[in-house]
Amino acid sequence: MNEISSVCRIDRLPSCIDFHATVSVLRLDLLHPVVSGNKWFKLKEYLSEAKRTQKILLTYGGAFSNHIVATAAAANSSELKSIGIICGERPPVLSHTLLAAEGFGMKLYFISREAYKTKIVPAEVLTHHLPDDLCLVPEGGYGPKGVEGAKEILLQHDTSAYTHIVTAVGTGTTLAGLTAAASDSQELIGISVMKNNVSLDGEIRRLLPEEKKEKFRLLHDYHFGGYARYKPALFDFMNAFFTRIGIPTDFVYTGKAFYGVFNLLKKGYFPAGSNILLLHTGGLQGNGSLPKGTLIFG
């Protein structure tokens, strides 16, 4: 696989004039079909460390994790080895996500839910590798190194004219990076894809320097029932958005964030003249877990 380039285009959406605001989408989804845009940025620092030290990337995730498959693909593109610690028993048939990860050469180990919570390196891994040969990437790429990489998202283009920057939020590492990189006049909005994730605010603040800790806002109203949950209205929106605008979204992250932005526009949340930059953070591979025909795009 070729090296992954980090420059993506920005699509200014045509239809938002009625809302007295403009919305532009930063198409990080176009970086690579499986390395979701924001995951690639969050992994950058780990990749360069592993390349420098020739260590094996080891990380954690679930059976449909964008982070797992992104790590596998990114390692593969840098000719590095990777290990994925997967939550739960090995299923008789692997998910399309895990098959793709294996296709990129990732070695998978399955551990019980209880063991997974502790984020230990399983004994089985340590019978094959010395701890010093492993470069550990936290689940979801959460942490200061992920923030460093995510800062670069805003540096690909001149983004100074945007009044609002919006992204879907899982661990919040991406939002922390955007907040750290944005100017003081810009408003940062994160749309949480989990239900009542009350610890999120503190987890993001922990990643930011003092003067940035108050500079982002989290919205918790667009989770559609919780992480990876959905309702028909979400698919209706995603299909309609694709029909009108031609941009595919995923049901776990970007579908919820995009729905949120258009719902907020309708409610008059954004002042007239707002110039909104909405991140398309990728994740489209996750749609592969939906029943065929749910979405009108592939």
The Cα 191–Cα 170 span in angstroms is: 9
Reported for 195-203, long-range contacts at CB under 8 A and 24+ positions apart, including other chains, are 195/220, 195/223, 195/225, 195/226, 195/227, 195/229, 196/220, 200/169, 200/172, 203/142, 203/171, 203/172
The Cα 129–Cα 172 span in angstroms is: 31
Under the binding rule (CB under 6 A), the answer on residue 71 touching ligand PLP is no
Q: Which of 39, 44, 55, 164 binds ligand PLP (CB under 6 A)?
A: 39
Element housing 12 (H / E): strand 10-12
Under the binding rule (CB under 6 A), the answer on residue 171 touching ligand PLP is yes
Query: Smallest distance, Å, CB 67 to ligand PLP?
Result: 6
Query: Smallest distance, Å, CB 40 to ligand PLP?
Result: 10
Q: Which residue has the CB atom at the shortest distance from ligand PLP?
A: 283
Cβ pair 277, 164 in contact under 8 A: yes
Binding-site string for ligand PLP from residue 238 to residue 267, where x marks contact by CB under 6 A and - marks none: ------------x--xx-------------
Please list every residue from 130 through 149 that binds ligand PLP, using CB under 6 A.
140
Query: Smallest distance, Å, CB 175 to ligand PLP?
Result: 6
For CA atoms 253, 256, 261, 262, the dihedral sign is: positive
DSSP 230: -
Under the binding rule (CB under 6 A), the answer on residue 281 touching ligand PLP is yes
Contact range with ligand PLP by CB under 6 A, out of 15-23, 83-91, 114-122, 164-172: 164-172
Q: Which residues bind ligand PLP (CB under 6 A)?
A: 36, 38-39, 66-67, 140, 168-175, 250, 253-254, 281-283
